[in-house]
């Protein structure tokens, strides 16, 4: 007899509760859709209202907890993640498909993020500065914002929720988190850990459901002061417009169409490993994935042949198999998008080098598997050059000069990540200066960000805010300037300054 699937509930005001409608949705394994992971709450506006109300009430006390003490609780949660790392990684692979090596890294990033932000509880530095008037003290301090709505994606179901939650909490905010409907279990694990280590009721609230039922009401709620969103550019645009009417603070991390430049003096073996990992890691389902490979004409044919040979040999299968090198697409919709772009590229004249088909063998027939796909002779006018696929479809493009390569790298609506492989230090430093992206890698792929540095992009990748590193403080806290006048009489700034006796 098949084991009955678990029903998972929302977490509101310290209690695990069903949604008001009583409806649930099914979470399935994309490597084998017969494997039902669980039933999750299909929540609506009433549930969002309850979560926001709890967060608003909890904020009154949480903001007064000293920041170092808030950091200590965040540290405890990071240590809890470390203790449960393998189980959580297996849950993540089961619900979103990427291989165990990657989900272990995903959880490790959550651990690292937690421990980093625990330290920031003692480092929310302001400034003291001289006043222009005598016997007057001037300084700046950070203060929390209020209730933060966190809307997270499915491709990094542990790393990205911690990127948002940990700085929000350490800054003194309370949160309502809406996980992607494809990966609610990973965030359930995170929230369960928060409950076990003792976060006060209402500080962290977890509501599952779709964009219309949960995401839109969260963005529209008058008591939500901030929305932090990671996902598609189109949804991010809608969120930005929805929040504008109430002047909510909004942090957006959206699409990418990232390119690696392979110069003729590059270490081709090193570049090969980097491009393969960047293009086909996480089945290409990263905003930082290498989706364009710009190769110098002098080494184009050789490098293309190297790429094709290795891509054809990649083992595609269920991520829980330790020998698998690439897992499935996350769902049928993403699989269809991958295959649709294969047809678009063919129609526009790109040369299919390898892949391009759905895998339907014995290990693949119940999942959403597609071959690692490479197109050659792609031109800047083609859609495959310009549009984000979010799958294992790599466009290889020839160029003749360094300047041409940089121009093609920047010929994009997005500006998240860029990379170059070269032994020429002058070209390396010029690329660092001229590649117009938020992330830049030298002799490394377009993926591999570390959480103590700012993460985000330019153009239609984001709206200027950054996640990761101390720069995230500027999203999750407000500045307050403070003046203390101990002169004993009224001093008028910019008016009385000319009355001050000059020192001879």
**Residue whose entry in the numeric block shows the structure tokens 């009433």:** 46
Q: Which residues of 416-427 are buried (b: 16+ CB within 10 A; e: fewer)?
A: bbbbbbbeeeeb
- Domain 258-442 part of CATH 3.40.309.10: yes
Question: For this structure, is 253 an active site residue?
Answer: yes
Mean pLDDT over residues 64-69, rounded?
A: 98
Tell me what pLDDT residue 502 has.
57
Q: For 41, list phi and psi in degrees, rounded to 5.
A: -70, 130
Tell me: the pLDDT tens digits for 335-354? 999 999 999 999 999 999 99
* CA 47 – CA 44 distance, rounded (Å): 6
Q: To 5 degrees, how large is the angle CA 438–CA 85–CA 34?
A: 95
Is residue 117 classed as helix, strand or coil in its secondary structure? Answer: helix
* Residue 247 burial (CB count, 10 A): 8
DSSP for 47-102 reads: HHHHHHHHHHHHHHHHTTS-HHHHHHHHHHHHHHHHHTHHHHHHHHHHHH---HHH
Mean pLDDT over residues 21-43, rounded?
A: 98
Let me know: does 93 contact 184? Beta carbons within 8 Å. Answer: no
Tell me what pLDDT residue 504 has.
43
Residue 497 has pLDDT above 90, yes or no: no
Tell me: the pLDDT tens digits for 225-238? 999 999 999 999 99
* CA 291 – CA 322 distance, rounded (Å): 25
* CA 275 – CA 47 distance, rounded (Å): 44
Q: To 5 degrees, how large is the angle CA 487–CA 489–CA 490?
A: 115
Is residue 10 classed as helix, strand or coil in its secondary structure? Answer: strand
Torsion of the alpha carbons at 21, 23, 24 and 25, rounded to the nearest 10: -110
* CA 129 – CA 291 distance, rounded (Å): 48
Q: Strand 147-151 and strand 174-178: pairing?
A: parallel
Does the pTM exceed 0.75?
yes
- May I ask the CATH class of domain 7-254+468-481? alpha beta
DSSP for 380-398 reads: TTSHHHHS---SSEEEEEE
Tell me what pLDDT residue 498 has.
73
- Per-residue tokens: 478: 């407000």
Compare 499 and 476 and report the one with higher pLDDT.
476
Q: To 5 degrees, how large is the angle CA 304–CA 98–CA 186?
A: 150
pLDDT grade for 469, boundaries at 50, 70 and 90: very high
Catalytic residue (choose from 171, 287, 293, 354): 287
- Tell me the helix, strand and coil percentages in the chain, rounded to 5: 40, 25, 35
**Residue whose entry in the numeric block shows the structure tokens 């991390």:** 253
pLDDT grade for 494, boundaries at 50, 70 and 90: confident
Let me know: does 204 contact 192? Beta carbons within 8 Å. Answer: no
How much is the mean pLDDT over the chain? 96
* Residue 265 burial (CB count, 10 A): 14
Tell me: the pLDDT tens digits for 186-241? 999 999 999 999 999 999 999 999 999 999 999 999 999 999 999 999 999 999 99
Catalytic residue (choose from 120, 253, 371, 388): 253
* CA 103 – CA 93 distance, rounded (Å): 6
Compare 140 and 4 and report the one with higher pLDDT.
140
Tell me what pLDDT residue 2 has.
53
Torsion of the alpha carbons at 378, 380, 381 and 385, rounded to the nearest 10: 60
Mean pLDDT over residues 76-104, rounded?
A: 98
Q: How is the chain split into domains, by residue range?
A: 7-254+468-481, 258-442
């Amino acid at each position: 007899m098949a084991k009955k699937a678990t029903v998972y509930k929302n977490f509101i005001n310290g209690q695990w509760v069903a949604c008001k409608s009583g409806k649930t949705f099914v979470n399935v394994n994309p490597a084998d859709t017969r494997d039902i992971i669980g039933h999750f709450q299909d929540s609506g506006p009433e549930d969002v209202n309850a979560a926001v109300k709890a967060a608003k009430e909890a904020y009154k006390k949480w903001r007064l907890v000293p920041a170092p003490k808030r950091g200590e609780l965040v540290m405890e949660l990071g240590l809890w993640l470390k203790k449960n790392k393998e189980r959580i990684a297996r849950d993540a692979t089961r619900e979103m498909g990427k291989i165990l090596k990657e989900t272990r890294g995903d959880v490790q990033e959550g651990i690292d993020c937690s421990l980093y932000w625990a330290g920031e509880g003692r480092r929310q530095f302001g400034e003291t500065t001289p006043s222009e008037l005598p016997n007057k003290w001037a300084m700046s301090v950070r203060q929390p914002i209020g209730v933060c709505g966190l809307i997270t994606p499915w491709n990094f179901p542990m790393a990205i929720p911690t990127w948002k939650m940990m700085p929000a909490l350490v800054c003194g905010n309370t949160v309502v988190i809406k996980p992607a409907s494809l990966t609610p279990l990973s965030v359930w694990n995170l929230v369960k850990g928060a409950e076990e280590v003792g976060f006060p009721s209402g500080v962290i609230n977890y509501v599952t459901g779709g964009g219309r039922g949960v995401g839109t009401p969260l963005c529209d709620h008058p008591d939500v002061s901030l929305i932090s969103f990671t996902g598609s550019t189109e949804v991010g645009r809608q969120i930005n417009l929805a929040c504008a009417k109430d002047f909510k603070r909004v942090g957006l991390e959206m699409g990418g169409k990232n390119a690696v430049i392979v110069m003729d003096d590059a270490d081709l073996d090193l570049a090969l490993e980097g491009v393969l990992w960047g293009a086909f890691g996480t089945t290409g389902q990263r905003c930082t994935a290498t989706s364009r490979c710009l190769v110098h004409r002098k080494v184009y044919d050789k490098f293309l042949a190297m790429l094709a040979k290795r891509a054809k040999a990649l083992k595609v299968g269920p991520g829980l198999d330790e020998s698998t090198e690439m897992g499935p697409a996350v769902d049928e919709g993403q699989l269809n998008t991958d295959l649709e772009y294969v047809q678009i590229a063919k129609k526009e004249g790109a040369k299919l080098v390898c892949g391009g088909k759905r895998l339907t063998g014995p290990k693949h027939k119940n999942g959403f598997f597609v071959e690692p796909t490479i197109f050659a002779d792609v031109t800047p006018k083609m859609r495959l050059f310009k549009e984000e696929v979010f799958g294992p479809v790599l466009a290889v493009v020839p160029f003749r000069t360094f300047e041409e390569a940089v121009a093609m790298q920047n010929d994009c609506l997005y500006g998240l990540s860029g990379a170059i492989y070269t032994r020429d230090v002058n070209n390396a430093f010029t690329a660092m200066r001229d590649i117009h992206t938020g992330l830049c890698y030298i002799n490394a792929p377009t993926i591999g960000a570390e959480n103590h540095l700012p993460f985000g992009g330019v153009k239609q990748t984001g709206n200027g805010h950054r996640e990761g590193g101390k720069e995230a403080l500027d999203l999750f806290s407000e500045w307050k300037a403070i003046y203390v006048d101990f002169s004993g009489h009224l001093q008028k700034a910019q008016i009385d300054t000319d009355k001050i006796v000059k020192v001879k």
